[in-house]
Structure 1
């Protein structure tokens, strides 16, 4: 806050218990729109611009009319592990690409891939599609991209805009994160219909195995397999979360607060 005050920035304080991936971002978007913003830029606190041109490059496709939403390339931190470096390079390649609804049959779930770590959206279109969903555990950015594509718009991955961002999750953290991913897809709306998930996961593991061998780190193969098993198991549990009791869901989840927020509206209707 003191940093924002030093630069005379407007900011809104929010109690952690009220944080919501979609709702909190919608609040920021609403405040910016009230100030006349035509392009909304979203960025997480742990992402660092790779250079001084990132913002100009990020919004360029929106300003030119090439797309209504863009997201940046993420580069691994210098200290990132080999597996995390692969994850960044796999998900954020060097080549930019625009996506439309016509790409869904070819790309499957990858057509909806979008990251709020560093993204930009034309404000009027953002509100036309209803902004971010406020009832999802995560991947609110993917849902937004899906809504934009379904509405006939173009979304662009802009590799020229780069930020430094990566996480070296433990096996337990990988498990909890992928439980939430599974829960997200279990509750996903019609916008994500036709999004095949399994094939992309298999391709990730196979490419990761080749990557570690190419770098002379065959000793990491057991870890790759262990992570793949943990992710798959957690994803399937998340996909069937409706069969699990609430206390267990909160223990398995990386975003445990979501389940309390989800329960609150239900209790009010009783």
Structure 2
């Protein structure tokens, strides 16, 4: 049986963190260690973690870095596998983590894997579609030479619910510091280019979704554009997936019509336009300048270190 450490960043987790922590604490078999990295929460986030016996490290909110914070927490990990979760991801069953980690025993060349994310009960139609579109019901194991998934999509991975072999993750220097986001996809790409495999485990599931406004979608995709422009090697090595955004937008409209949520059609169009514009501007953030980039970004603290 593989030993497992869970690393989970928190900040003002609120009610959903209480539910998430409880589900994490009762995973079977029990997790070897749960490490919480809390960005100076003002609510009872740390008290909730303490009540379940989790290890807690407190950092200044301004110090949080998507890759760097996770890598620092990894330094002391000695288990076979590390699982990353976010505070708003609710494990669907008491063996969700076990199902995810089992892929490492079945496939020796798999070094990172991610599970299926289902929409929360309060997810709006756009949030529902985002999850059903990105997280299908069929698992896969892929390598650089496999046809599916195609192009850049091959490196898709989400640290909202993902697992890594600790020895591999440490061998590549873990997650890079000072990425605006995408530290998970970065490692997946490194794994593929080193001849390893990446897995998607559809029966390992969490509830995790966001009801983003059009403004928030714009900012999120601005940051994705910044990430892609800062790591051009990923698209150069893995290849583009032409028309992916258009396919997603059209599929979203079909999903809404099928659901009978006609009033959501305008919001779908606006959200898709916001994503497109945000992404294009994000890729050109150097021309926009630091002041405007900070204003247009979702993760504003990133720009304090540019």
Q: Scaled by the length of structure 2, what TM-score is found?
A: 0.81
11-20 or 98-107: which moved more? 98-107
Instruction: Name the structure 2 match of 1:22.
Output: 67
Task: Indicate which of 221, 227, 242 corresponds to 2:265.
Answer: 221
Question: In structure 1, how many angstroms separate the alpha carbons of the residues matched to 2:255 and 2:183?
Answer: 30
Structure 1 residue runs of 4 or more that deviate by more than 4 Å after TM superposition:
none
Task: Indicate which of 77, 87, 92 corresponds to 1:45.
Answer: 87
- State whether residues 83 and 162 of structure 2, in contact with CA within 8 Å, keep that contact through their aligned partners in structure 1: yes
Q: Offset at 1:129? A: 1.9
Q: Offset at 1:64? A: 2.8
Q: Offset at 1:6? A: 2.8
Q: Offset at 1:240? A: 0.4
1:247 matched to 2:286? The reply is no
1:153 matched to 2:196? The reply is yes
Instruction: Name the structure 2 match of 1:136.
Output: 179
Question: In structure 2, how many angstroms separate the alpha carbons of the residues matched to 1:219 and 1:129?
Answer: 48
1:54-73 residue pairs with structure 2 within 5 A? 54-66=96-108, 67-73=110-116
| CA distances 1:45-93 after superposition (whole Å, capped 9, x unpaired) | 1101001110110100113335211111001011110111111000001
Instruction: Name the structure 2 match of 1:266.
Output: none
Task: Indicate which of 200, 223, 226 corresponds to 2:244.
Answer: 200
Question: In structure 2, how many angstroms separate the alpha carbons of the residues matched to 1:212 and 1:45?
Answer: 29
Task: Indicate which of 226, 230, 240 corresponds to 2:274.
Answer: 230
Q: Scaled by the length of structure 1, what TM-score is found?
A: 0.91
Instruction: Name the structure 1 match of 2:36.
Output: none
Q: Offset at 1:198? A: 4.5
CA RMSD of aligned residues (A): 1.5
Q: Offset at 1:155? A: 0.6
Q: Secondary structure at the match of 1:219?
A: helix
Higher normalized helix content (fraction of residues): 1
Q: Secondary structure at the match of 1:46?
A: coil
Instruction: Name the structure 2 match of 1:167.
Output: 210
Which 5+ residue runs of structure 2 have no aligned equivalent? Answer: 1-45
Which 5+ residue runs of structure 1 have no aligned equivalent? Answer: 263-270
- State whether residues 84 and 168 of structure 1, in contact with CA within 8 Å, keep that contact through their aligned partners in structure 2: yes
1:86 matched to 2:139? The reply is no
Q: Secondary structure at the match of 1:31?
A: coil
Instruction: Name the structure 1 match of 2:55.
Output: 10
1:108-127 residue pairs with structure 2 within 5 A? 108-127=151-170
Q: Which has the higher contact order (CA 8 A, sep 6+)?
A: 1
Alpha carbons of 1:105 and 1:94: their partners in 2 closer, same or farther (altered >3 Å)? closer
- State whether residues 103 and 111 of structure 1, in contact with CA within 8 Å, keep that contact through their aligned partners in structure 2: no
Question: In structure 2, how many angstroms separate the alpha carbons of the residues matched to 1:189 and 1:31?
Answer: 31
Question: In structure 2, how many angstroms separate the alpha carbons of the residues matched to 1:222 and 1:189?
Answer: 34
Say how many residue pairs are matched.
259
Q: Offset at 1:131? A: 1.0
Question: In structure 1, how many angstroms separate the alpha carbons of the residues matched to 2:196 and 2:83?
Answer: 18
Q: Secondary structure at the match of 2:298?
A: coil
Q: Offset at 1:4? A: 2.9
Q: Secondary structure at the match of 2:56?
A: coil
Alpha carbons of 1:128 and 1:189: their partners in 2 closer, same or farther (altered >3 Å)? farther
